[in-house]
């Protein structure tokens, strides 16, 4: 699929939100959002890791494990549930739903390395910032299904905040952001 075709799927399913004030997981603000949580029982990365491992197992005839990290109170990403033992000595492909700053991916890379695993590559559904998040900046082979460029601003530079545009609290991290501000 091309980036335009992937974006077309998001648009068809009303998952491409524009002209809004979104707070992303990274804390940056933007006016567009890819809502991939249409009908999912858990976080996007978990679902992607499970289905990717399933399909890789089917394609290769070799069991490929699907594990995931979990966010700590200090916003790190670590293996829990004994997954660190499953990663040790293994070649690991990191999958992610959407990258804006690459922060989550870099935290998972660090967890894989500290658990004794070898990162062989990073794959994402959509890369919102291909100029800054790529193979060169991450230091590993990096592939995205789609590159969908979306602006993201630090809160202090956000033109939507400056204009008083209300923050969307139904998608992204808007609700958490407003709560942290006492609103």
pLDDT band at 183 (very low <50, low <70, confident <90, very high): confident
Of 26, 67, 31, the C-alpha closest to 46 is 67
Residues 6+ apart with CB under 8 A from 22: 29, 30, 31, 32, 33, 167, 168, 171, 172, 174
**pLDDT tens across 69-94, in order?**
888 899 899 988 888 998 999 999 99
pLDDT at 44: 61
For residue 65, the model assigns a pLDDT of 86
Are 8 and 129 spatial neighbours (Cβ–Cβ below 8 Å)? no
Query: Which domains occur in the chain, in start order?
Result: 3-180 (3.40.50.2020)
Tens-place pLDDT, residues 42-75 = 366 788 888 888 888 898 888 888 888 888 899 8
Q: Would you say residue 118 has pLDDT above 80?
A: yes
Burial class of residue 174 in the structure, from the number of CB atoms within 10 Å of its CB (0-12 exposed, 13-18 middle, 19+ buried): buried
Rounded to whole angstroms, the Cα distance separating 53 from 58 reads: 9
pLDDT at 128 over 60: yes
Separation of alpha carbons 129 and 26, rounded Å: 12
pLDDT attached to residue 36 = 66
Mapping DSSP to helix (H, G, I), strand (E, B) and coil, where does residue 19 land? coil
Please give the average per-residue pLDDT across 145-165, as a whole number: 93
End-to-end CA distance of the chain: 42
Mean pLDDT of the chain: 88
pLDDT at 40 over 60: no
- CB within 8 Å of 135: residues ≥ 6 apart: 141, 142
In the numeric block, the tokens 């997954």 are attached to 83
């Amino acid at each position: 699929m091309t980036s335009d075709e992937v974006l077309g799927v998001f648009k068809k399913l009303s998952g491409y939100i524009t002209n809004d004030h979104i707070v992303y997981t990274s804390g940056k603000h933007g006016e567009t959002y890819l809502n991939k949580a249409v009908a999912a029982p858990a976080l996007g990365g978990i679902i992607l890791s499970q289905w990717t491992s399933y399909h890789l197992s089917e394609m290769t005839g070799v069991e490929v494990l699907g594990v995931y990290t979990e966010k700590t109170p200090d916003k790190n990403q670590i293996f829990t549930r004994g997954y660190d033992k499953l990663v040790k000595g293994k070649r690991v492909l990191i999958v992610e739903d959407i990258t804006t700053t690459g922060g989550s991916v870099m935290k998972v890379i660090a967890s894989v390395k500290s658990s004794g695993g070898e990162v062989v590559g990073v794959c994402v559904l959509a890369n919102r910032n291909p100029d800054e998040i790529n193979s060169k900046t991450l230091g590993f082979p990096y592939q995205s299904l789609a590159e969908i460029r979306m602006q993201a601003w630090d809160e202090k530079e956000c033109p939507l905040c400056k204009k008083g545009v209300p923050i969307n609290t139904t998608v992204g991290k808007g609700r958490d952001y407003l709560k942290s501000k006492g609103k």
